[in-house]
Amino acid sequence: MTVPSAATVPVGAMEPAGPARVRRWLGLAALLTGMFVVQVDFFIVNVALPPIQQDLHATLSEIQLVAVSYAGAVGLTVVTGGRLGDVYGRRRIFLVGMAGIALASLLGGLAWSAPMLVVARILQGFAAGLVLPQGIGSVHAMFSGRDRERAFAVFGAAMGLSWASGMVFGGLLIEADIAGSGWRSIFLVNVPLALLAWLGTARWFDETKRSSTTRLDTAGALALTVVTALVLVPLIQGPPAGWPMWTLLCLFFAAVGAVVLIRVERRTARAGGAPLLPPHLFRDRQFDIGLLVIGIFFLGPPGYFLLTSIYLQSVLDFSPFESGMSLLPFSLLFFVSADVVKRLKARLNESVIIVGVLVMMVGTVVVGLTVHIAGTDLTVLRLTPGVALLGFGQALVTTPLMEMLLRHVPKGIAATASGVFTTVQLIAQQIGVALAVIIFTAFVTHQIDRTAPERAWEVQTSVVDSGGTEAQAQRAVADVADCAARAAGELTGATGHSCAGADGWTALVGAAADRAVTVAARDAFVHTLGYNLLVQLTTAAIMVLHVRRLRRRPVPPAVGSPVFPDQKQR
């Protein structure tokens, strides 16, 4: 048979055999290379924040923007990117996005100032917003039957590897210091990887799209972008700025904008157009439940990754490499458990997600106990059992969840649906990170205040015993309190802290403040894990209710899914 070259593949066609099938799997490999780059960029920068701040003389607000601007930019463009893929071709939009990733990453690697690096991260995010929805949408459209299950299993394993390996990969690159590039290597490495993904996609990736007569809903795209910006910007800027009034006003106007967006989309549908967010999509109960589970579940993991990096590097003085290696068991268990996930999914169906959440709850408890018991003697090896359980549990959740979400979604709008749940995931991640930082900071401050009397007595006694006056002792107590309070605020910037002094009473003051912050941060980290447990418990409860509903009233098979009025396939 003749193997098509970049031909448009009918999205409802049967899975071909022979060379065409091999071509699709090679196309999937190229696709996953690009998706790996995009997903790694969410987390790879976390381990590089201290050296970036030092090298570029960045302020705390600038370094926070470097950390969060990428995800914000992705959230602004991902739904529109998904719709562009459905309308103009997923392969075409993927290639445009990967070219943008390469150029933006090169700019980031050559950045000479913090503002320039922030601009590069934003451009990376815009390009990633074009790439991300094409991944799941293409798997859904290109494969069918058992091949689709295998493709989703491979896709889920690769994405899980990239989610946690970002910090591992970043730590390795910084430690290697290739050609003296230091932190810049975490951006420059994207260039050859993006080029490899671009070439592989251009060679093996078959085009899948809807009718060329369908046009992009520009009014809906503009309205959705404004609403998403009104949500993400205050979530990103609110916590470090102390939630000023403008952030609350943005959230209020986001709610107003959401009402406007719904009306715009309904009017477009009534006029016979193709709305950016097809109303039919949200009439699929399976899709709605999947969105709810995603919105709840992803309130947890990103905050955990961030706080782990903060605690290990800023409190325990782990190197970027050591900090990254602490998550290696998560990546490995996620990656190697793909076959186990597939088998359990075949046996348990949606219930496998409940099992995964329960495994994550056990892992969270193990991590908390390990951190509490080990104290300053914490090592990567001691963290391994709990982190490995978290990786295995999340593998049991995410891959089946993606398949559940898209089960009844018509292939012609698969990328649009992917963009919708990616946006929900990103918003949940930002909310989760904001909540985790708020809870962590509150616990640190509370613990420092709670132990202040005992610490004051210890410092005062030490100064007097060393020959100091009562006034000097009181001054030392005040200095310890000031430095500890300042360090508590600096921790969440992931930029490190130190109260250590040179000698004499200054060294005593610094050591006492550092001890106070270390103990408070350890207790705060452990207590914040309780927030993760609450998120996991809520996710499990929703899935239990969903599974019970399915047992009472089975959902019709996917082949019976309705075809949307504007879904002319070719």
For the cut 70, the answer to whether the pLDDT of residue 223 exceeds it is yes
**Nearest CA-CA partner of 354 in 157, 550, 539:** 539
Q: What was the pLDDT predicted at 439?
A: 87
Band (pLDDT 50/70/90 cuts) for residue 271 is confident
Separation of alpha carbons 262 and 253, rounded Å = 14
Task: Kindly tell me if the per-residue pLDDT of 519 is higher than 80.
Answer: yes
Q: What integer pLDDT is reported at residue 160 of this predicted model?
A: 65
Spell out the long-range contacts of 323-326 with Cβ–Cβ below 8 A and sequence spacing 24 or more: 323/47, 323/167, 323/171, 324/47, 324/167, 324/168, 324/169, 324/170, 324/171, 324/172, 325/168, 325/171, 325/380, 326/380, 326/383, 326/387
Residue 207, classed as helix, strand or coil, is strand
pTM confidence score:
0.75
Q: Specify the residue for token string 């959440």.
A: 357
* Low-confidence winner among 76-80, 358-362, 494-498, 551-555 (lowest mean pLDDT): 494-498
Query: What share of the chain has pLDDT > 90, as a percent?
Result: 14
Residue boundaries of the structural domains of the chain: 19-217+273-444+524-560, 218-272
What fold does the segment set 19-217+273-444+524-560 form as a domain? Growth Hormone; Chain: A; (1.20.1250)
Distance CA 205, CA 191 (A): 20
pLDDT at position 228 over 70: yes
The residue-averaged pLDDT of 525-531 equals 92
324-354 pLDDT per residue, tens: 778 778 878 877 777 788 788 878 888 899 9
Q: Is the pLDDT of residue 484 over 60?
A: yes
Q: What is the mean pLDDT of residues 352-378?
A: 92
So what's the pLDDT on residue 359?
A: 95
Residue 526 host element (H or E): helix 504-552
Dihedral of CA 310/311/315/318: which sign? Answer: negative
Q: Are residues 124 and 73 in contact, defined by beta-carbon separation less than 8 angstroms?
A: yes
Per DSSP, helices labelled H in 44-88 are 49-56, 60-88
Residue range 517-532: mean pLDDT, rounded: 88
**Structure tokens, 332:** 């490995």
User: Highest-confidence range of 23-32, 374-383, 515-524, by mean pLDDT?
Assistant: 374-383
pLDDT of residue 98: 92
pLDDT of residue 341: 80
pLDDT bucket at 80, cuts 50 / 70 / 90: confident
The model's confidence at residue 543, banded by pLDDT at 50, 70 and 90, is: very high
pLDDT value of position 244: 84
DSSP tag of 561: P
User: Could you read off the pLDDT of 124-159 as tens digits, one per residue?
Assistant: 999 998 888 887 767 777 776 677 777 777 776 677
In contact, 438 and 188? CB cutoff 8 Å: no
Contact between 319 and 171 (Cβ < 8 Å): yes
373-397 as b/e: b if 16+ CB within 10 A? eeeeebebebbbebbbbbbbbbbbb
pLDDT for 8 equals 41
**Do 217 and 276 form a contact (C-beta atoms < 8 A)?**
yes
Three-state secondary structure string covering 314-380: HHCCCCHHHHHHCCHHHHHHHHHCHHHHHHHHHHHCCHHHHHHHHHHHHHHHHHHHHHHHHHHHCCH
* Residue scoring higher pLDDT (7 or 402): 402
Q: Tokens for 62, please give them.
A: 């600038």
What pLDDT score was predicted for residue 103?
A: 94
pLDDT the model gives residue 164: 60
Q: Is residue 443 over pLDDT 80?
A: yes
Number of neighbouring beta carbons within 10 Å of residue 111: 21
| Model pLDDT, residue 565 | 41
Q: Return the pLDDT at 15.
A: 46
Instruction: Give 451's contacts (C-beta < 8 A, 6+ positions apart).
Output: 516, 519, 520
Q: What is the DSSP string of 1-42?
A: -PPPSSPBPPTTPPPP-THHHHHHHHHHHHHHHHHHHHHHHH
User: Across-strand partners of 331?
Assistant: none
Instruction: Tell me the backbone φ, ψ of residue 207, rounded to 5 degrees.
Output: -70, 135
b (16+ CB within 10 A) / e for 319-343: ebbbbbbbbbbbbbbbbebbeebbe
Say which residues have a Cβ less than 8 Å from residue 111's Cβ, sequence separation at least 6. 56, 117, 120, 184, 187
Model confidence at 373, pLDDT cuts 50, 70, 90, reads: very high
Q: What is the pLDDT of residue 366?
A: 95
Instruction: Tell me the mean pLDDT in the region 361-389.
Output: 92
Q: At 569, is the secondary structure helix, strand, or coil?
A: strand
Q: Which residue has the tokens 């719904």?
A: 262
Taking all residues of the chain, what is their mean pLDDT, rounded to a whole number? 77
Residue 361 has pLDDT above 90, yes or no: yes
Output the pLDDT for position 13.
Answer: 41
- Report percent pLDDT > 70 for the chain: 77
DSSP 564: P
Residues 182-191 have pLDDT tens digits of 888 888 888 9
